[in-house]
Structure 1
Amino acid sequence: MELRADPVYRLGYAVMGLFPILLALWCIQIALDVELPFRSADFRNPPPERLLPAALIGAPLLALGFLLVARAWSIGVTCTDEVIEISGRLWTRNIPTSRVTGIHRGFLGGVSLRWKDRKGQSRLTRVSAFSALSFSGEAALFAEHNTRCVDALENWIDQHTSPPDSRPPRYR
């Protein structure tokens, strides 16, 4: 089963990734002292003392921007019989399905997957795709989609994990 964040939510994060890219291009323009629009001739023989600042500032910003844009489309949860994959904005966590104990719905609208690690300790992994602060405008915009997805995830977990009596009770 594959559950993704609302398309508008994902588009918002993709657009947010454009800001570091634009900032990187602006910093590179200043560091290399070139005019817009960039031309390939501007980069053929730049002064060596300007290359290092351009690379040190521009490369990390470009990497961050492209990472945010690329990851925006995969924010969500993918469930298989072996593993539940939670794709966040910057990271992905794979949790064995057999260790999942349920869903935790926070007081302020946060959603987390409850599971046990190898030592048997309870853990929570935030599902950012379906978490929105309940007092924010964002929550109202995505509430129906998020509730539907969290309910579907909860039903899937109930069907594919250990019997409910061996898990802690669910709180809503």
Structure 2
Amino acid sequence: MSGGMRQRVMIAMALAGEPQLIIADEPTTALDVTTQARILQLLADLREQEDLAMLLVSHDLRVMAHVADDVVVMYAGRVAERGPAREVLEHPRHPYTRALANNVPAVSTKSAIAEPLQGAPANPFDRPTGCAFHPRCPMAQDRCRTEVPVLREVERGRFSACHFATEVAS
């Protein structure tokens, strides 16, 4: 079976139990863009027809921008930012979200990564003190190395766990 057919079988298996919530973890990974679109449309149709809630886990921001109502961006096991999908992805308030958004390759670029994120991801079992993102953050200051930022509302419906979220330019 093709990747798309395997995904459809998994969706059918998930629906067999008549759930109220579907958790789809990377449902379009390793699929070509046409098959991705079909799988995402199938999930959207099922969500509406069956009145299902859906939690979509993905590293593909293009997918999230098109299918999600709200997004939660996580770094090292903690919420970095959350809010309406389009607003968060088009105008990120957390430096990690901005780095992710800047790394969605454009068709016209020769590099697979537009602006590589410096450093290595945080080890969730041995997080840095303070903000887990501070070793990779271009905005990091002394406060970031000692204080864990609290997820707070930075504008109506938008939340960020960055000490400087109100200073983040969109």
Q: TM-score, normalised by structure 2?
A: 0.22
User: More helix per residue: 1 or 2?
Assistant: 1
Q: Which has the larger radius of gyration?
A: 1
TM-score normalised by the chain length of structure 1: 0.22
